[in-house]
Amino acid sequence: MALDSNFSRKIFRAPWVVPVSKPVIGDGAVVVDQNSIVAVGSFSDISREFPDLPLSNCSGVLLPALVNAHIHLDLSAYGTVCQDSEDSTMCDWIASLLHRRQHSHFSEQDLKAAAEKIVQDQYNSGVGLLLDINNSSLGVFDSLPVEILSLFEMLGPSRSAAQAAISAIQNLPHDQPVTGHAPYSTSPELLQYIKKRCQKQGQLFSLHLAENSDEALLLIKGQGCFSQFLKERGGWDDTFPIHGIDSRGVVGYLHELGIMDDRTLCVHCVQLSEEEISIVADSRAHICLCPESNRFLSVGTAPVEQFLKYRILPALGTDSIASNPKLDLWREMVLLRKLHPDVSPEVIFSMATLGGAQAMNRDTDFGSLAPGRKPCILQVQDSCYEELSNPEQLFDKLTSCGRPDSLTWLSI
């Protein structure tokens, strides 16, 4: 049967349709086939254009799939790693996480089963696309409906560790996506090597950036908790501090290395100056926020208003369960509303959808309800959404009420 026949297309009608890339449609409709969205518009217009298609009347709201642009699935089995005290640093938390990993005896099957459980919950919450950062391969998740891009993360803070990492990368399959961890844990030579590999293969490069103020202390002065952390673990040589970093800070340093471009995703970005944000914007790099993880680790709050001032639409991520007990993008939106009351709820919802798709260079498939996009459509219902009279009220409720009472994936 031809895919474009009436039997392979269907109209979904709902009181509210949220395309994201265009204004909200009251009494809207979406036409889909087995492979893509065909049309989006008011029901009156759609019914005139497609008079013979079968119709499914939906209650509630139709939305595009959410996009989680930062998660670590290989940490799923280890649970949440709590800070020992109010005086604990991020380095203390990293040490505790490493200790737990080293002294836990999970089998590969245990690790994968825990990750699969997290992926299933992500799907149940409305996530259709995930960016997973890992340093222990869990294989593929073919049986799960979420689309997952996995990047193998490499660390190497010293020259010897960087060379070992490069040798390991050279032994990986040619098409294995690889990325760096963070400026404090990855030497400049290793960062450049991985980025050039990504550029050659057209792959995304994701990097934890400016999550903690001690990162800049390490790179600029060779001080702070990361300096002590590396020394205690034998990972210290004369790599840090990085000589020649000027007022443009860590982002300026990365820009000089050739790291910053439109296929670079900077995760966290809590401790960025306005000049650094300007460099991110000029380079067309992307930013991913993880507000619940940042709050859990007490590292600060990202300057979201400044990102938007420079026309950067951040993505949203949950980070891992190690630093976020509830991996829920709806919860991330609620926290953003509380932390940034002057940011439009519509923009916050766009972060959880279009922002993530753009950051992953997948906005031709995900992030909005538009012709040609994948037919990953959510129907959400909640008592919180009753008696809505305008789009502003709708976005207010979508970003302040948390995960909806009812969430259904539509299918033809």
In this model, does residue 4 exceed pLDDT 90? no
Which strands sit side by side in the sheet containing 286-289, from one edge to the other?
205-209, 264-268, 286-289, 315-316
pLDDT of residue 7: 57
User: 55 and 204: one domain?
Assistant: no
Q: What mean pLDDT comes out for the span 380-384?
A: 96
Range of 392's domain? 6-64+369-409
User: 74 and 45: one domain?
Assistant: no
Q: What percent of the chain has pLDDT over 70?
A: 98
User: 281 and 392: one domain?
Assistant: no
Largest Cα–Cα separation, the chain: 71
Average pLDDT of the residues of the chain: 95
User: 154 and 200: one domain?
Assistant: yes
Q: What is the pLDDT of residues 103-140, one digit of tens each?
A: 999 999 999 999 999 999 999 999 999 999 999 888 77
Give the end of a domain, one of 319, 336, 359. 359
Q: What is the CATH number of the domain that holds 80?
A: 3.20.20.140
Q: What mean pLDDT comes out for the span 181-203?
A: 97
Residue tagged 């305008």 (tokens): 390
Q: Is residue 75 part of a domain?
A: yes
Q: Is residue 308 part of a domain?
A: yes
In this model, does residue 16 exceed pLDDT 90? yes
Q: Is residue 35 part of a domain?
A: yes
- Cα separation, 357 vs 130, whole angstroms: 10
In this model, does residue 408 exceed pLDDT 70? yes
User: 353 and 299: one domain?
Assistant: yes
Q: What is the number of structural domains in the chain?
A: 2
Q: What is the CATH number of the domain that holds 375?
A: 2.30.40.10
Q: Is residue 1 part of a domain?
A: no
User: 201 and 266: one domain?
Assistant: yes
User: 47 and 121: one domain?
Assistant: no
Q: How far is CA 247 from CA 189, 220, 274, 280, in A?
A: 22, 10, 11, 15
User: 250 and 282: one domain?
Assistant: yes
Higher pLDDT, residue 288 or 2: 288
Q: What is the pLDDT of residues 223-246, one digit of tens each?
A: 999 999 999 999 999 999 998 887
In this model, does residue 73 exceed pLDDT 70? yes
CB atoms within 10 A of CB 113: 14
Q: How many residues does the chain have?
A: 412
Q: How confident is the model at residue 1 (pLDDT cuts 50, 70, 90)?
A: very low
User: 170 and 259: one domain?
Assistant: yes
CA 8 to chain centre: 33
User: 180 and 54: one domain?
Assistant: no
Q: What mean pLDDT comes out for the span 315-326?
A: 97
User: 41 and 98: one domain?
Assistant: no
In this model, does residue 247 exceed pLDDT 80? no
Q: What is the pLDDT of residues 74-107, one digit of tens each?
A: 999 999 999 878 788 999 999 999 999 999 999 9
User: 307 and 382: one domain?
Assistant: no
Q: Is residue 291 part of a domain?
A: yes
pLDDT of residue 227: 96
Q: How far is CA 335 from CA 13, 345, 399, in A?
A: 31, 12, 9
Q: Is residue 106 part of a domain?
A: yes
Q: Is residue 364 part of a domain?
A: no
Q: What is the pLDDT of residues 28-53, one digit of tens each?
A: 999 999 999 999 999 999 999 999 99
Q: Is residue 225 part of a domain?
A: yes
